[in-house]
Structure 1
Amino acid sequence: MRTTVVLVIGWVVMTGVERMVEHTPWRSALLRGLVWAGVVTGAWWFSEWTQVRPSPARPEEADTGDERSPH
């Protein structure tokens, strides 16, 4: 779902940039905006996918038997 939101928002923003800054016709701006939004979304998705997330500790690893441990 988040990927779709990033794609749509990116498409709107990039189309606006192509239309206003580059002065391209609407049809071309929509196409170019979609291409750039795809690039941005792909990079965003890849960075999300490759983030290191800590794995939850297994119950047998959490119990160390140390009396001083607060757990």
Structure 2
Amino acid sequence: MFKHRRVRTAVVFVVAWVVLTGAERWAESAEWPNAVLQGLLWAAVVTAAWWFADWTRAGSPQPRHLEEHRGER
């Protein structure tokens, strides 16, 4: 979807923060300041896990442009 990992990571972080803050606010009945901080904490955990999976490619094959040039060394 987005070409650069930094942009993808930032989007995941912001979306996770909004969703998890809402979950803390309404599902857990936390006050707004606490909900924002708890949402921030959980968003960091989710983003770190997502970043690691993206970094290791979660078992997906190499991009085509790398496979095409593999034997040219």
5+ residue gaps, structure 1 = 61-71
Based on CA coordinates, which of the two structures has the bigger radius of gyration?
A: 1
Quote the sequence identity (%). 48
Structure number with higher helix proportion:
2
Report the alpha carbon displacement of residue 58 of structure 1 after superposing the two structures with TM. 1.9
Matched, 1:21 2:30: no
5+ residue gaps, structure 2 = 1-6
Q: 1:58 — aligned with what?
A: 71
Aligned residue for 2:28, secondary structure, equals: coil
TM-score, with structure 2 as normaliser: 0.74
Runs of 4+ in 1 over 3 A off after TM superposition: none
The alignment covers a number of residue pairs equal to 60
1:5 aligned to which of 11, 14, 20:
11
User: What's the RMSD between the two structures over aligned residues?
Assistant: 1.5
